[in-house]
Each structure stands twice: as structure tokens, then as C-alpha cells.
């Protein structure tokens, strides 16, 4: 059965595509995360774009009545987080994304969760 994407996920993906974020990846974490249904990972080409992506996401969520309980990180750190509804957007600079490998960690957890 195919699930419908929640509005928050559709918005986040659309905003990031529109502003040329790279490597957009959506991971369903509903089965093992108590606070989110999806993680959306994306890469920014530079700190300025990273900060702008964060602002664009917050604006889109708020404009559409979606709660933003978490908005953390500074672009200079190479990693920012914005939660909109049931979606947690993890935005990185390329070196930080590679070093942290959040996608690999989540997929590993997802695999172990589905094997139980």
C-alpha cells in the first residue's frame, strides 16, 4: 500500500527543489521514530544557501499552518535542522553530510527494524 505524502513533506521537497538543493533524500522513519514520520536530507552548495534553505522551509511551513517546533543550527556549522509537522529536514554542506552519514545510519536502523 502506498502512503500519501503529508503536506509538510511535499512542501519541504518542493521548496528545496525550487531553490536547487542537491541530493534530496526522503527516508520513512515512522516505524522506529517516536517524533517524526520522515527525514528529508539535502545538501547546500555553501553556508549562505544553507541558511537560506532553513529560512525558506520555516516560511513555507508557517505560511501553510504547519508547526515548526524545531529550527536549530547555524549555517557556518555545516548542518541545520528544521522540523515541520511530521518531517525533520536535515540540511548539510557536502563535507558534513558525508562525515555524519545520517542516511546510512537511518537506513541501517530501518533495516534492523524491518527484520524484527
- Inside any domain, residue 1: no
**Count: domains in the chain:** 1
b/e per residue, 52-86, with b = 16+ CB within 10 A?
A: ebbebbbebbeeeebebeebebebeebbbebbbbb
What is the span of the domain harbouring residue 94? 7-114
pLDDT at 99 over 60: yes
The pLDDT value recorded for residue 20 is 97
Report the predicted TM-score, pTM, of the whole model to 2 decimal places. 0.89
The SS3 assignment for 19 reads coil
b/e per residue, 12-37, with b = 16+ CB within 10 A?
A: bbebbeeeebeeeeebebeeebeebb
pLDDT mean over 15-27: 97
Residue keyed to cell 527484520: 115
Order the strands of the 79-84 sheet from edge to edge: 22-28, 38-44, 87-93, 79-84, 70-72
- Inside any domain, residue 77: yes
- Inside any domain, residue 2: no
The CATH number of whichever domain residue 97 belongs to comes to 3.30.460.10
pLDDT mean over 13-35: 94
- Inside any domain, residue 35: yes
Amino acid at each position: 500500500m502506498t502512503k500519501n505524502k503529508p503536506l509538510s513533506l511535499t512542501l519541504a521537497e518542493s521548496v528545496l527543489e525550487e531553490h536547487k538543493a542537491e541530493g534530496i533524500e526522503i527516508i520513512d522513519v515512522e516505524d522506529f521514530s517516536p517524533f517524526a514520520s520522515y527525514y528529508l536530507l539535502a545538501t547546500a552548495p555553501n553556508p549562505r544557501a544553507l541558511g537560506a534553505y532553513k529560512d525558506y522551509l520555516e516560511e513555507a511551513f508557517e505560511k501553510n499552518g504547519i508547526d515548526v517546533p524545531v529550527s536549530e543550527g547555524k549555517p557556518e556549522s555545516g548542518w541545520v535542522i528544521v522540523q515541520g509537522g511530521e518531517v525533520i529536514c536535515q540540511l548539510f554542506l557536502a563535507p558534513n553530510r558525508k562525515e555524519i552519514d545520517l542516511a546510512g545510519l537511518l537506513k541501517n536502523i530501518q533495516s534492523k527494524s524491518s527484520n524484527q
